[in-house]
Structure 1
């Protein structure tokens, strides 16, 4: 039902539903039912009908469904995607996503910006080495990622057996319609770069950012690493491009790397802190003993 190649136009489904219910005036009815029907595929554990913790009124849901139909909702997959992105980033994306800098990207690959090459973002393990922290953001909009003061806040995403098919078909829809926004593709590319190994997945899971029902963490890493294969994507037209730039600036600052390395090596656990304090006290006592000995040699007590 979620596959792009299996989609039927909304007006056809409305006509079929009208025949079944003996009521030809069914415009918007399928669009209204679609989010409820696909609710089990949601990549978050918050239901679609909730917005900032408040349930939408039924009338608002119907108005939204009619709006999808009036604005040219193509089919159920299109409606479900619009429902996912019902509150998109305030800054709109440029409609045309195809350009000379468009390229196919995968995790840990680079993108061509004219004559210079720049990696989108590094993986979780490398970002941690630069002192970047990861925190779960409390929102049901799974794609709404923020970065502030060295902390990358990522909403919780629920990964189950249907997640791969859902994301693949949403990315395929955005590839098929280059004039629509590319929020899902941008999110998939960003997560693809963040996750290189099962260790990255385990760390994000420990911080509540990822919850999965798959066999192991390696399967989750493989899911994201294969999600954007052969995908044409212009990162300069991504809603996460400025965020990626800020992350890279923080990563490339040498002081952040040195401080993070010091923290991981000497302040990673209480025993390391105690050992460091003991070594400091021992060094101080040794220094005081040396000073006292030198002072006593030059100024003997008579």
Structure 2
């Protein structure tokens, strides 16, 4: 057996074998043969196709045992064709407009110092984190919740499975990329995770004891793991489509086509995560409980009915921005804001920090409203609603920002607010000043942690500052800040009117200066014009 690595050697070897066969058999070479034996070897080489060097293994009989170059090239072409066919199929079958539950972009995940802000630590919902080993412990509690639902409603599990099979394709289209779960596995996941979520929602509103759970239940009780569960369930990668939850709850209540109730249950459940101090009112809570008890009601309490919702994170965001900011369109913004810019420290500056604004005479006051984004500026006074900051605020804002970055139909209002606060807060002293005026209330370790939180929330975020609803307000503040007279007056108040004794000293100095000036004037006047 001979291994040949060169085309010329291969050609000579084949010619020699052909000559040997001809001489031994006494058969003249065919005139139609591709190789004419009467010609010199150099001319035979010229007639051979000019292919690149190939590695070919040939046995003693002249048979090709392996053509690695040809085999590799064929596999490569086939692989490219398969990829092109797959791309054509993806382009035809994918519904990009239905995509609503996204994977966190790598540039946001890499820029965050805390990956746990995006990854659930207790419970997985949906396919992205389904089956992960450290989240499997909650699966047995999911099955417990499903048994409670079936026992309480007297339904057969097949009713829920068949209903989810009808919407399987629609539900899959909500997720990004290819979902590796089979049809049965995906449907099982929708039923199991969906019923688990609904039990938590209903328990937070009606009470878990009313649903048949023990007061010492490790999961279905408003204590223990509940805060961690709420934090996981508000993450972007850990969502279920809202229409899936609506259908499952409708089956439980005897009306599969009922909509709107899940959105309000979600708001009640996630109420402790709200960054405001205005909880759900007693009237709204009573209407919500009545809607659940009276299954014959056709119209339910639904303040978000005119807006709809994609999933729980979207519902939560819409609730935060109800009657939200709607800035007037500006022609010059449309002309110059075609491209998005990265909101780094050099290009995201909307407004100066608290310390600098304070030195320019701008005052800060707390505004009485439950809309944390509703900020106003008038006559040198910046009024801001109170913002509550807890250990779940970072994860909440990061996932809201990620959703606004991924979903094209979303406004950037949450991102605008966070960047505005990042501009205001440059140091722990800025946080302390806002806390003193009742604008920021936090339960973190120190003011430095709050400052660090805001300074890291919007790293590498794609954002056009001119499209911010706070851009007109920021321009008004900056105009006031740049007026020198305001800075001088602020300096005068800071240095001479910061306490009563300073005011008395200033007035005394002014009176003394006036008296000295008068005395000097009369002395000079008497010298030049003495009395007659």
Matched residues in 2 for 1:296 and 1:79: separation?
Answer: 84
In 2: Cα distance, 1:46 partner to 1:215 partner: 24
Query: Residues 246-270 of structure 1, C-alpha deviation per residue, up to 9 Å, x if partnerless?
Result: 1111111122222212221222222
Q: CA separation in 2, counterparts of 1:300 and 1:144?
A: 70
Aligned to 2:303: 64
2:460 aligned counterpart, secondary structure: coil
TM-score in terms of structure 2 length: 0.50
Q: Which residue number corresponds to residue 2 of structure 1?
A: 234
Structure 1 window deviating more from structure 2 (187-196 vs 246-255): it is 246-255
| Larger mean Cα displacement after TM superposition, 21-30 or 233-242 | 21-30
Q: What are the superposed Cα offsets for residues 163-220 of structure 1, whole Å, 9 maximum, x if unpaired? A: 1111111111111113211111111111110110111111111111111111111111
Count of residues paired in the alignment: 286
Q: Could you tell me whether the CA contact under 8 Å between 2:276 and 2:387 is conserved in 1?
A: yes
- Contact kept in structure 2, 1:266 and 1:273, CA below 8 Å: yes
1:77 alignment counterpart: 313
| Cα 1:61–1:249 shift into 2, 3 Å | farther
Where does residue 187 of structure 1 map in the other structure? Answer: 417
Name the structure 2 match of 1:269: 499
State the SS of the aligned residue for 1:142. Answer: coil
- Check 1:57–1:66 CA distance in 2 against 1; reply closer, same or farther (3 A cut): farther
1:32 maps onto 2:264 in alignment: yes
Structure 2: how far apart are the matches of 1:264 and 1:101? 43
Give the conservation status (yes or no) of the 8 Å contact 1:29–1:65. no
Is residue 110 from structure 1 mapped to residue 338 from structure 2 by the alignment? no
Whole-angstrom CA distance in 1 between matches of 2:507 and 2:328: 52
Partner-residue secondary structure (3-state), 1:154: strand
| TM-score relative to the length of structure 1 | 0.85
SS at 1:58 equivalent: helix
Alignment partner, residue 283 of structure 1: 513
Confirm or deny: 8 A CA contact 1:32 1:61 kept in the other structure. no
Structure with the higher fraction of residues in strand conformation: 1
Deviation of 1:62 (Å): 2.3
C-alpha separation in 1, matches of 2:379 and 2:339: 30
CA contact (8 A) 2:376 2:382 kept: yes
**Counterpart of 2:224?**
none
Judging changes above 3 Å, is the alpha-carbon distance between structure 1 residues 208 and 195 closer, same or farther for their aligned structure 2 residues?
A: same
Of stretches 229-238 and 33-42 in structure 1, the one that deviates more from structure 2 is 229-238
Cα contact 1:195–1:221 (8 A) shared by 2: yes
Q: CA deviation at 1:47?
A: 1.4
CA–CA distance in structure 1, aligned partners of residues 401 and 438 of structure 2 = 25
Q: What is the Cα deviation at residue 93 of structure 1?
A: 7.3
Gaps of 5+ in 1: 112-118
- In 2, the alpha carbon distance for the partners of 1:216 and 1:146 equals 28
Which residue of 2 is the match for residue 115 of structure 1? Answer: none
Higher RCO structure (Cα 8 Å, ≥6 apart)? 1
Post-superposition Cα deviations, 1:257-290, rounded to whole Å, max 9, x if no partner, equal 2221222122222222122112112212222332
Q: 1:61 Cα shift?
A: 6.7
Contact 1:93 1:239 in 2 (8 A): no
2:399 to 169, 189, 192: 169
- Is this contact kept in 2: 1:93–1:237, CA < 8 A? no
Give 1 or 2: higher helix fraction. Answer: 2
428, 433, 453: which one pairs with 1:223? 453
Q: What's the counterpart of residue 152 of structure 1? A: 382
In structure 2, the partner of 1:212 is 442
Question: What displacement does 1:296 show?
Answer: 4.2
Conservation of the 8 A alpha-carbon contact between 2:428 and 2:451: yes
Change in Cα spacing, 1:48 to 1:186, as seen in structure 2 (3 Å) is farther
Question: Max radius of gyration: which structure?
Answer: 2
Deviation at 1:83, TM superposition (A): 1.0
TM-superposed CA distance for 1:15, in Å, is: 3.5
Secondary structure of 2:441's aligned partner: strand
